[in-house]
Amino acid sequence: MFKTASQRTGAFASKTIQSPLPLSRTISNTTRPRLNYNNAVRRFPSQFYPRIGFQTRNLTHAQRMRFTIREASRGIWRKNPIVFPLALISVIGSIAFFVYVSYVEVTFVGPKYAKFPPLVNESLRTAVYYTEIDLNPPKALEAYKEALRYAKQLNMNPMSDEVLGIRIQVAYMLEKAGLIEQSIAVLEKIKSETKKYVDGTAKLANHSPIGTEEHKAKLRGEGDPIPIDLPEFNEYQDKLVDDAKALLDRRPSVLRKLVGIELKLADLYSNSRTADEKKVEACLVSGVELCLKEMHRRQKFGLPVGGSPDSDGWLGLTEIAVVLRELGTMYDKQDKYALALPLYLRALDLIRVDEGDNPTCKQVSLLADISTMMTHMVHLPREGKQPQLAQTADTARQWSLKAIEVAGAIKPAVREKECDESCAMAHFSLGELARLQGKLDEAREYYKTTKSIAQSNDVAVLEEAADDILAKLEIRTGKDS
């Protein structure tokens, strides 16, 4: 009996030793009764069950944090399967937006305000916010005035690009708010002051270029009976030369802004509630005269006729051509073709010189304007001048074909919608000329081409005009048949 009991006990001990209880709890472990493992082990000597040493190790702070975060994240995903992903997306989106705003501030916005002192910079940013983001004329005007007041306190030159730019921005803000008369008043005041500056430096600019040996010799009185050669006097003369050179260096930029103000005033006078054609013409004529005088002066001293904002601040050739074209367009609308044609041709010469072998849509548009004007000249009543009429029609045809030819030579990289619109105008002019000469089939083809191009580019005016004339031609053809 005891022998049997000892065998069973030994079997139980070896089974217990071979299959130790797992340390982790499972469902089966918690629902099934088990023996006291520790007591069973203590009953037997070490030869049956070797002594096992248990070691305990404390977790580091980082490991505890990692374990806590892992457990918390599992809990968050289980408890908030919808809200948590949305919150995560919102955080990522906010970070991306912050990075984008910082990038725009550093690369685009910051450099624009870097020229201004901190006090002016801060006020100007407030003014631009109430101009571009949240339009509020009273607050914007107050901020602009504060910026100009700080600029005056800091002795910034009133004819500098920065100060003039702030004042022009005030006029832009007023125009954007619908205060056209107030915007005109601001621009007129700026125009008056800049014109005084330009006229005051005109005499200085028309002499020998400042700083050259010829100019310095004149200042020292070389060639006079008693030339002056004193160190103090020479130092004083050098200071005068530096001051005069600073004035002349700033003059092209001021002149550029003055021409732009003239064009803007012409636009406002033509679109304001009290439109005044005389003031529009006066502004455009003044702008053209300023351009021509400066071109003549620069040519006289061997300077480039056209400048650039990166060099001396004067207008480029294409920009001068735009000024001439504006005045020519006004004369064209008034049927003053004798005044419009020279302006158009001079503008075309400047654009061709500037563009060289790489024409742009500006040249095509100007060619189309010339052909359209010449076509209008054909419509004028001329008694007893049929040969001259035929010559004008042939000239208008050549201008239209030239516009289409140049448009076909423009590279796709620089081709714009303006090219297609100008081509439609040129085809319409060709249709008009063919119709006047009795070539109805040829005219019909030109009008169909005009309609097709106008439809592709959403030029409703030309499309409707071509439709009307095609309908009239169909009616006329039906009557003739």
pLDDT tens per residue across span 155-189: 999 999 999 999 999 999 999 999 999 999 999 99
Residues 105 and 164 in one domain: no
Residues 410-428: tens digit of each pLDDT: 888 888 888 999 999 999 9
Convert the pLDDT of each residue in 107-149 to its tens digit.
776 777 888 899 999 999 999 999 999 999 999 999 999 999 9
For residues 396 and 480, state if they share a domain.
yes
Residue 59 lies in a domain: no
Domain boundary among 90, 110, 130: 110
Q: Is the pLDDT confidence value at 285 over 70?
A: yes
Same domain, 160 and 206: no
Q: Is residue 376 part of a domain?
A: yes
Instruction: Say what the pLDDT of residue 231 is.
Output: 60
Query: Do 399 and 368 belong to one domain?
Result: yes
Q: What are the residues whose beta carbons fall under 8 Å from the beta carbon of 352, sequence distance 6 or more?
A: 359, 363
Token code pair at residue 258:
């003055």
The pair of structure tokens assigned to 326 is 């504006």
For residue 205 the two structure tokens come to: 């600019």
Between CA 98 and CA 90 the distance in angstroms is 12
Residue 164 sits in a domain of what CATH number? 1.20.58
Residues 188 and 321 in one domain: yes
Same domain, residue pair 371 and 264: no
Does a structural domain hold residue 235? Answer: yes
Confidence of residue 349 (pLDDT cuts 50, 70, 90): very high
The pair of three-digit structure tokens given for residue 456, joined into one six-digit string: 């592709």
- pLDDT tier for residue 28 given thresholds of 50, 70 and 90: very low
Q: Is the same domain home to 101 and 227?
A: no
Query: Do 325 and 380 fall within a single domain?
Result: no
- The angle formed by the CA atoms of residues 263, 267 and 269, to the nearest 5 degrees, is 115
Look at residues 324, 352, 380 and tell me which one is the last residue of a structural domain: 352
Residue in the block written with tokens 């423009």: 410
Residue 461 burial (CB < 10 Å; 0-12/13-18/19+)?
Answer: exposed
Would residue 55 count as lying in a domain?
no
Q: Which of 352, 379, 408 is the last residue of a domain?
A: 352
One-character DSSP codes across 400-435: HHHHHHHHHHS-TTT--HHHHHHHHHHHHHHHHHHH
Q: Contact 357/315 with Cβ under 8 angstroms?
A: no
Same domain, 401 and 257: no
237 and 312 together in one domain: yes
- The answer to the question of residue 17 being in a domain is no
Please count the structural domains in the chain: 4
Instruction: Tell me: do 152 and 198 sit in the same domain.
Output: no
Q: What is the CATH number of the domain that holds 248?
A: 1.20.1050
Does 27 fall in a domain?
A: no
In a domain, 50, yes or no: no
Q: What is the span of the domain harbouring residue 215?
A: 183-352
Work out the angle between the directed axes of helices 417-436 and 386-409 (0-180°, nearest 10): 150
User: In whole numbers, what is the pLDDT of the chain averaged over residues?
Assistant: 80
Residues 338 and 376 in one domain: no
Tell me the pTM: 0.74
Identify whether 49 is part of a domain: no
pLDDT value, residue 292: 94
